[in-house]
Chain A
Amino acid sequence: MKEHPMNDQEGKDESAERDADLLESILNGEPMRDDARVEARRLELEAFLATCRETFAGDEEVDRIGARRLAGRILARTTREDLSWRGDIGLMVRYVKSRFADSAALRVAAAVLLVHFVVAPSVLAYYVFVKPEPDLWIKYEQRGELPYALEVEEPPLEIEFRPLDDDDEPR
């Protein structure tokens, strides 16, 4: 006889509820019950959970050395923190590093500042002192005095001589 759809649904709900209860009982470490049918299901679920634990248990073993190193770094920043000036410098370096890691804008600003205050003066100093480029600068040269021989001489004044007249009185 075909089962009524409503009964089918009810059966599924009941089974789901039973599984949820069983999972809770297993994971909370509660003891088994006396119902054989329920306990068979419980063993099935327990086997599945054991498989899961076995599969993922290796995850913590993947990088033991890396994990130990990380734990060391954490302790160096917490209970074993260096309180001397070296520790202060380390703290500042870590802070700056974390800020840089967090903000792209800060990285760009720092790069621009670096170019302005370190790289540009260094390049400039190199070209000025080590390898001056002949055409790098515009030179303003003062015009020197021209040689004497080249000075323009003014033409001598022309003197007109004429014979004295009688009217002329000697000065």
Chain B
Amino acid sequence: MKETWDSERDPLAALRDGDPEPFEAFVVSATPAFLAFFGRLGASRAEAEDLVQEVFLKLFRTAPSYTQRGRFAAYAFRVARNGWIDRVRKRGAEAEGLGMPVASGGADEGRTSAIERAPATGTEEPGSGLARREEAARLRAALARLPEHHRLVFELGVLQEMPYESIADTLEIPVGTVKSRMFHAVRKLRAALGEDVA
């Protein structure tokens, strides 16, 4: 799991005990990660900001009654994932109310998120730049096409570097299901890049 998520003290436990510093440090370090997380799930920039605020406010409000069970990162991502599910449901209900087609798989499949549209960053050598950008674009497109349950497992396991047990805890599914979803997600992404998946 990412180092920034493993602070010495559980941010919510510290907040409950009257020390706001770990929570403040967590907000500052985790905001970009949550923005990217929601962006990859299919949220627009404004929607992602809204969701990130909701997640932190929810965490802050639960602090007085918080009891530490397992890793804090898993708990935080569970709150984030529930926020995303609520948003997708709300979006679906609004679309139904307006008589518009509801996107399947949770996220708007045809819509590109701010993150998806963002150019690839980092230092690139001139010769390999184009090929790398193409590969990155294919990977982003493939990730956007993954079913949401596969995308979430991939996001938490590969990009947030959470162990399988924490993913299972976050998504409230058995570890075996995490294993199977991860395998399918990786296979589909590798196939999109033209790698040998046999």
- Chain A interface residues (CB < 8 Å from chain B): 12, 15-16, 19-20, 23-24, 27-29, 45, 48-49, 51-64, 66-68, 70-71, 73-75, 77-80
Contact = CB atoms under 8 A, between A and B. Distances in A.
Contacts of A73: 53
Given A19-B183, A28-B164, A74-B27, A48 B53 contact: no
A55 B124 CA distance: 12
Contacts of B92: none
B157 A27 contact: yes
Contact of B136 (A29, A55, A60): A55
5 contacts: A20-B179, A55-B135, A60-B35, A68-B28, A68-B31
Contacts of B190: 48
* A-B residue pairs, 6 tightest by C-beta: A58-B121, A59-B36, A20-B183, A79-B20, A60-B32, A78-B60
B163 A27 contact: yes
Nearest to B198: A15
Chain B interface SS verdict (over half): helix
Contact of B31 (A16, A48, A56, A70): A70
Contacts, number: 117
Nearest to B162: A27
Contacts of B115: 59, 62
Size bracket of the B interface: 35 or more
Contacts of B57: 74, 77-78
Nearest to B36: A59
Interface string B152-195: 00000111010110000000000000011011001101100101
A53 B53 contact: no
Contacts of A56: 36, 40, 140, 143, 159
Contact of A27 (B118, B164, B193): B164
A164 to B, nearest CB: 111
B71 to A, nearest CB: 14
